[in-house]
Structure 1
Amino acid sequence: MARLQPADVACWVVKTARPPEVVVPGWRAGQAATFSRCLRRSYRLGLMSPGAPCLLWLSGADRPGVHAVGELAGEVGEDAGGPVVPVRLTLLAAPVPRSELLADPVARHAEVLRMPAGSNPSYLTPAQYAAVLGSLA
């Protein structure tokens, strides 16, 4: 597979197996929260920049899909566990279910759907990101 180029990435996807209300205790729909997500060390980290669109993907069998949207809130950094990035995300009142995205002819090809066990960060192309945004309306 070819390396991603900046134009390939319209939105970064950070994944969690823990429900959003566990990731940020007390997080409510419509509320923005800033927190850090762990990343896998790769060339992709050099493509991430503050202000870039980002979304939170809940993996697993319970309510998988897009649960929050926002942006990268700072530079990729390091903590004791490795690379991390701060994100500022707003919790959605109604998540965009994985099943809805699988039914979309464009979104169904998103990396997060093709490789659900892949590591952070994943990404959406411009067309895939537009499909997700269309599901929010």
Structure 2
Amino acid sequence: MIRALNLEDLGSWLLKANGMTSDIAEVAARREPVRRFCVRPGYRARLMAAGQPVLLWVSGDRRRVTPGIWAAGELTGPALVADGKLRVPLELRWLDDDRRVHRDTVRSDGRLADLEVLRQPQAANPSFVTAEQMAALRAYLPDGCGWTPALSPRG
């Protein structure tokens, strides 16, 4: 069962891309901007608002891609329908290859054992990281990827 989100405890949204079935690895290699991302309609998408932090998790077979956090940024607005799909506008900053937070690193940190992307890897976007989990992730993220831990809900 996917945990109900308490917005006061949100440390970051987490969006997932499959590195095996999408072109995300090529997009990252070219450092192309990602300005919108598909999300599933529902209460979580309705909670997404400008200024909230977001992480991009790339999944896949480690022989072809190294799963983990590849980018960080923030939402630039609420989720809206575009081209018949619900998409959230955002600004992502690609992490250098050696600064990505690998899945093995996340799994080995006991503070992150309950991270939703590890418990429910097939769950639809958006996923989330709690404020406590985000505090632990900051130890692995490069400078400039830090945000205030508590986000206030936006109406």
TM-score range, shorter chain: 0.7 to 0.9
Aligned-pair CA distance for 1:127: 1.0
**1:13-92 alignment, distance < 5 Å:** 13-18=14-19, 20-23=24-27, 26-27=30-31, 33-61=33-61, 62-92=65-95
The number of aligned residues is 133
Aligned-pair CA distance for 1:21: 4.2
Could you say which residue in structure 2 is the equivalent of 1:6?
A: 7
Q: What is the distance in 2 between the residues matched to 1:7 and 1:41?
A: 21
**1:70 aligned partner, one-letter code:** G
**2:17 aligned partner, one-letter code:** T
Q: What is the distance in 1 between the residues matched to 2:76 and 2:34?
A: 7
Aligned-pair CA distance for 1:8: 2.5
Contact 2:72 2:92 in 1 (8 A): yes
Q: 1:76-117 CA deviation, whole Å, 9 max, x = no partner?
A: 110234210011111111210001001111112110111111
- TM-score of the two chains, using structure 2 as the length reference: 0.78
User: What is the percent sequence identity of the aligned residues?
Assistant: 35
Unpaired runs of 5+ in structure 2?
A: 143-155
Contact 2:46 2:78 in 1 (8 A): no
Could you say which residue in structure 1 is the equivalent of 2:149?
A: none
Q: What is the distance in 2 between the residues matched to 1:124 and 1:66?
A: 12
Could you say which residue in structure 2 is the equivalent of 1:108?
A: 113
Could you say which residue in structure 1 is the equivalent of 2:145?
A: none
Secondary structure of the structure 2 residue equivalent to 1:12: strand
**1:43 aligned partner, one-letter code:** Y
Unpaired runs of 5+ in structure 1?
A: none
Could you say which residue in structure 2 is the equivalent of 1:123?
A: 128
